[in-house]
Chains A and B, each alone.
Chain A
Amino acid sequence: MKNSVITATGLGKRYFIGHERRESYTALRDVLVNRARAVMDRISRVWSPGSAHVSGRVIEEFWALQGLDFEIARGDAVGIIGRNGAGKSTLLKVLSRITEPTRGQAEINGRLASLLEVGTGFHPELTGRENIFLNGAILGMSRSEIRARFDEIVEFSGVEKFLDTPVKRFSSGMYVRLAFSVAAHLSSEILIVDEVLAVGDADFQKKCLGKMGDATREQGRTVLFVSHNMLAIQQLCNRGMVLERGRLKFHGNVSDAVACYSKRESRDYSFQAIVIPDIELVVTSIQINAERSGIVHPHQEMVIDIEIECRRDVDRIGIELLISSPDVNGIVFATNTKTRKGLDVLLRKGRNRVTCRIDKLNLCSGRYSLGFGIDIPFVSFYFYERDLLDFVVEETVAPPCLLPTIPAYGRVYLDHEFHVESGG
């Protein structure tokens, strides 16, 4: 295809994960200590040649992207969809040259600007005016380009009055508006936009995306857009790419891509059977909203189905379910059959089905994990896994707005109502 702006062949990116420590950087102190330890080990092996030597640090390789082949045509708006850790961000980073691929190559024809964060490089001490120049330069605009578009940017942001105020005195709304405006006026032929745009007020987002949409349609610019919001993807993009564990699962029409993604979001969790030999049972499947396709919506019913096969009758066990949020790294809710049903949950020999029905899912939109456990009540767990299945709770967005409005945020949605008595 002659008209392609991005051609990737066999693109792959490998990371090494150390299991001993979590930090990505090393401390010189640790290196010295480890070397000293290695020397000590060697000496002690000389003294006792029979003892096994276990190396201190286990390093595992991890392919964030693997064998990606795709072409993106000029003027396309491509939505990149995938679960957490599917490689979306890595792909964006590789394409925007922040990090090199380990294998393969991508040919990019045209200037590329990436917007992985709103207001990258904004300095709080500098004024609005100065930050426009700074941010523009960081995003790859030349000074003459920024000067030419300066008035347009300022007008678009609506913060004219505060141009000479240091941005540290800006409200967060003003800050985001200014940052957005610079981004919306980028003149590069290819624009990479990460989810970051999902902040700020809805009206302004609409204005911003409208501006970017115009650029795609009228000037033939190419946009790569990552989001978890399927509605936004469907409205802004005409093509879609679904990534799954670093591989390209689908590339084509955007509605097919969303359908492909939603399908696996609800059903195929790649759930692996849990075998618990102590009580001779196998948990064969756990599903969320098995009959419904798509993502879980707040305020609606959520049904968790668990299938357990037993070799013999089992009593005095509890089945625990928990919902945790990776964003806040904490458990949002946990429940156990022992508190709701007493201690006599009895699984019969053969196939059993346990269903947990949540009438109204009072969770705010975001990513969650479902955890599962089987225990001897008050004694110990046979099995406990906090992050067994991921699911996304998503607000249904009213059509005129492309990005999620945030009517309420946090983790738990509390039923509430406002009463306002205006002064007369």
Chain B
Amino acid sequence: METSYRVIVAPGRTEKNYWSDLWHFRELFYILSWRDVKVRYKQTAIGVAWAVLRPLLTMVILTVVFGKVAGMKLESSAPYAIMVFAGLLPWQFFSSALTGASESLITNSNLLSKVYFPRLIVPASAIITSFVDFLISFVILVGLMAYYGYPPTWRVLVLPFFTLLAFLQAFGFGLYLATLNVKYRDFRYVIPFIVQVGMYVAPIGFSSSAIPDRWRPLYNANPVVAVIDGFRWSIIGQSWSASSSVYLTVSVVFTLSVLGYALHRFRAMEQTFADTI
């Protein structure tokens, strides 16, 4: 028995032992993530098959629409389908993580009002579910590359870095949207719209090179673009210029600032979640 466990409840006190609390509650984080993953694959009638079908069907549609109907060309020798899938992979992770994290506080409101734990655990564990989907999609990508006989190069080794960047982006934006969602309950109608528009604004069905050069700076203001370009660079060897590095740096800085700001807002709001939710 841990008789030495001692807590002081006072205004502003949770601030001080927040990070040690987060460590203390890590098991809850594991178990909530595990619950979300488990429930996700249990609830949908076809379970895991859905995680396979969804990216696959989206890829087929995008390939047909952009590759065949619109007749977009590629600079690299990669099959259009793989190019699309390499972009779809981070985007689907980002969009589902964003949606999941932003709704997580509301869907777990009964927990928030009945038990104490660092609230950061909830949106974080929501992202884990999307990450499992991402891993499944990745296996599909490997299958696709085998099917087309398109072997990976050493550049694939850089992929974890871009994955981490996508993770941080989803967490930063998701966290911020989650706080907004608690405060303004009608905000959740905006999120599917953001995701839907993002699908067309980001280079998913087409390559970034299809964008005229003079529009590129504006286009790359979207931090997700750098991640998608990074994925394509590692997987299909899409060209990497000096300006690509600049865009990547901007995206990293932007992502970290958003994450920092979102954490700050979340921590400031956290204390009132139980009262307002």
Contact = CB atoms under 8 A, between A and B. Distances in A.
Specify whether A and B are partners: yes
Interface of A: 15, 23-29, 31, 93-112, 114, 116-117, 120-121, 123, 125-126, 130, 133-134, 137-139, 142-143, 187, 189
Interface stretch (B48-56, B80-88, B113-121, B246-254): B113-121
B10 interface: yes
Contact of A137 (B28, B42, B112, B271): B28
Nearest to A8: B9
The winner among A23, A93, A95, A99 for most chain B CB atoms within 10 A is: A99
Contacts of B1: 187, 189
Given A137-B28, A189-B5, 11 more contacts: A24-B277, A97-B14, A98-B116, A100-B10, A101-B11, A103-B11, A106-B8, A109-B5, A120-B111, A138-B111, A187-B1
A109 B35 CA distance: 31
A24 B32 CA distance: 27
A108 B185 contact: no
A100 B110 contact: no
A134 B31 contact: yes
Contacts of A95: 9
A129 B238 CA distance: 49
Interface in B5-35: 5-14, 27-28, 31-32, 35
A90 to B, nearest CB: 10
24 contacts: A23-B185, A25-B182, A25-B184, A26-B183, A28-B186, A96-B116, A98-B112, A98-B113, A98-B274, A100-B13, A100-B14, A105-B8, A105-B11, A108-B6, A114-B115, A114-B116, A117-B114, A120-B110, A120-B115, A121-B115, A130-B35, A137-B32, A138-B115, A143-B31
A108 B9 contact: yes
A25 B276 contact: yes
Contacts of B180: 28
A121 B111 contact: yes
A25 B184 CA distance: 7
Interface residues of B, number: 42
A103 B9 CA distance: 10
B265 interface: no
Given A106-B10, A125-B39, A25 B28 contact: no
Nearest to A100: B271
A349 B15 CA distance: 65
A23 B10 CA distance: 27
Given A25-B184, A121-B110, A123-B39, A101 B275 contact: no
A99 B5 contact: no
A94 B276 contact: no
A305 B28 CA distance: 56
Nearest to A31: B184
A266 B6 CA distance: 41
B3 interface: yes
Contacts, number: 125
A423 B270 CA distance: 62
Contacts of B185: 23, 25-27
Nearest to A137: B31
Nearest to B9: A106
Contacts of B6: 107-110
Contacts of B8: 105-108
A108 B32 CA distance: 26
Contact of B184 (A26, A126, A139): A26
A29 B185 CA distance: 9
The winner among B6, B9, B11, B182 for most chain A CB atoms within 10 A is: B9
A123 B274 contact: no
B274 A93 contact: yes
Contacts of A102: 11
A125 B42 contact: yes
Contact of B274 (A99, A126, A133): A99
Interface string B165-193: 00000000000000010111111000000
Contacts of A29: 186
A24 B184 CA distance: 10
A133 B35 CA distance: 10
Given A120-B111, A125-B43, A27 B27 contact: no
B73 interface: no
Contacts of A105: 8-11, 13
B267 to A, nearest CB: 12
Contact of A110 (B5, B12, B42, B276): B5
Interface string B183-218: 111110000000000000000000000000000000
Given A116-B114, A120-B110, A126 B38 contact: yes
A123 B39 CA distance: 8
Contacts of A133: 31
B18 to A, nearest CB: 12
Nearest to B7: A108
A133 B187 CA distance: 34
A77 to B, nearest CB: 19
Contacts of A31: 184
Contacts of A99: 271, 274-275
B225 to A, nearest CB: 28
A116 B110 CA distance: 11
A212 B186 CA distance: 44
Nearest to A145: B27
B75 interface: no
The winner among B114, B117, B271 for most chain A CB atoms within 10 A is: B114
Contact of A189 (B3, B32, B39): B3
Nearest to B3: A110
A112 B5 CA distance: 9
